[in-house]
Amino acid sequence: MSKPIYEIVDELPQNNITIMALRALDFVVPGEWENLVGFENTIREVTGETDEEMIQAIGDRAIWLYNDKSQGYQRALWLYQTVDRTDGALATAALANKVGETIPLFGFLNRITPNPDKAQAIDLCIKLVVEVVAFCQINGLPGDSIGDFVGSLTDNYSKESLMRMAALVCFDGLIPLGPDFLLKVGSILDDLSTSTLEENNTFNRIGEAIPGEDSGSKLGFINDSFASVRGWMSGFVEDRGLDPQVIMSHLHGFIEFSDDKLDYVAGFLDMTTNYYEHTGTQTLARSLIERAIAEI
């Protein structure tokens, strides 16, 4: 039996490297994200309710909805959980070696493996596809509704969902691939063969959930998703004047590193954070609770 949703939300951490990294991105989406954890707490925050009977009824209905597999919530959570590549041991070691408020990165260089550009570009695109598919699962749209997703990015994405997209752009785009990451990803995708895609670890974990019968059509879906979201991402970067240096200056608040080690910072964040799982769980809980309060 899968773990109850109230336990999953109760066990979301209040502070770890993921939370520190996301807090460092507050300047990108000011005030949008606060680290909302705990099932009851989330019910109170999302609904504004204080009546204990109401809170019980909302929670009960949310649990029923989550446990009905046909409703897609469990699938969405699996996607968010599976796409992150986290090395728990490294995260623990890094936190243990914190000096004051900051983690000195130079102590871990030998344990960090930066992603080569091609693998990083594929990772970014697969995270994007996970967002599209999970969005459709959570909101009840056919799994390949890229158009609805893009529309929603502009109108509907806020709070933890918008923070997740900000982190995708910053931690999986700008820092590892540089200011022209969209061009780079575009040209890597243009040349990508299905056999290279099949060698990618992230694709191997998530591939079955990507719409398409074979790797060729899944690659087509990846291309379509990236092409549709590219414009939104480029506007997001431009509107906020984002570049690797600006982001790095905010990361200096909690990681100590020299500026020629961008690849290592990217690798470190990749290996020690699970921001997709963390904010994805928060997104799912919010959606579930909003539906539950409407239905009781």
Shortest gap between Cβ of 166 and another protein (angstroms)?
A: 17
| DSSP code for 210 | S
Binding residue (CB under 8 A) for another protein from 51, 180, 198, 199: 51
CB 205 within 8 A of CB 86: no
- Coil, strand or helix: which one is 2? coil
| DSSP code for 266 | H
**Is 59 among the residues that bind another protein (CB under 8 A)?**
yes
Contact letters for another protein, residues 64-93 (x by CB under 8 A): xx-xxxxxx---------------------
**Is 227 among the residues that bind another protein (CB under 8 A)?**
no
Nearest residue (CB) to another protein, 57 versus 93: 57
Binding residue (CB under 8 A) for another protein from 35, 54, 85, 240: 54
Structure tokens at 216: 């060729």
**Is 11 among the residues that bind another protein (CB under 8 A)?**
no
CB 267 within 8 A of CB 112: yes
Give residues 97-156 in contact with another protein (rule: CB under 8 A).
138-141, 152, 155-156
User: Distance between CA atoms of 221 and 215, rounded to whole angstroms?
Assistant: 10
Shortest gap between Cβ of 78 and another protein (angstroms)?
A: 16
Give 190-199's long-range contacts (Cβ < 8 A, gap of 24+).
192/118, 192/122, 192/219, 194/219, 196/118, 197/122, 197/222
Binding residue (CB under 8 A) for another protein from 15, 56, 92, 217: 56
Nearest residue (CB) to another protein, 57 versus 246: 57
Q: Is 121 exposed, middle or buried (0-12, 13-18, 19+ CB in 10 A)?
A: buried
**Is 296 among the residues that bind another protein (CB under 8 A)?**
yes
Binding residue (CB under 8 A) for another protein from 47, 102, 196, 215: 47
β-bridge partners, 104 = 256
Interface segment toward another protein; rule CB under 8 A; list 49-57, 179-187, 201-209, 277-285: 49-57
Shortest gap between Cβ of 293 and another protein (angstroms)?
A: 7
**Is 236 among the residues that bind another protein (CB under 8 A)?**
no
- Coil, strand or helix: which one is 273? coil
Shortest gap between Cβ of 115 and another protein (angstroms)?
A: 34
**Is 45 among the residues that bind another protein (CB under 8 A)?**
no
β-bridge partners, 256 = 104
Binding residue (CB under 8 A) for another protein from 14, 50, 110, 195: 50
Kindly tell me the number of DSSP H helices and DSSP E strands found in the chain: 17, 2
Amino acid at 47: T
User: Distance between CA atoms of 185 and 229, rounded to whole angstroms?
Assistant: 12
Closest CA to 283 of 135, 171, 146, 176: 135
Neighbouring CB atoms inside 10 A of 43's CB total 26
Q: Which residues bind another protein (CB under 8 A)?
A: 1, 4, 6-7, 10, 39-40, 47-51, 54, 56, 59-61, 63-65, 67-72, 138-141, 152, 155-156, 158, 287, 290-291, 293-296
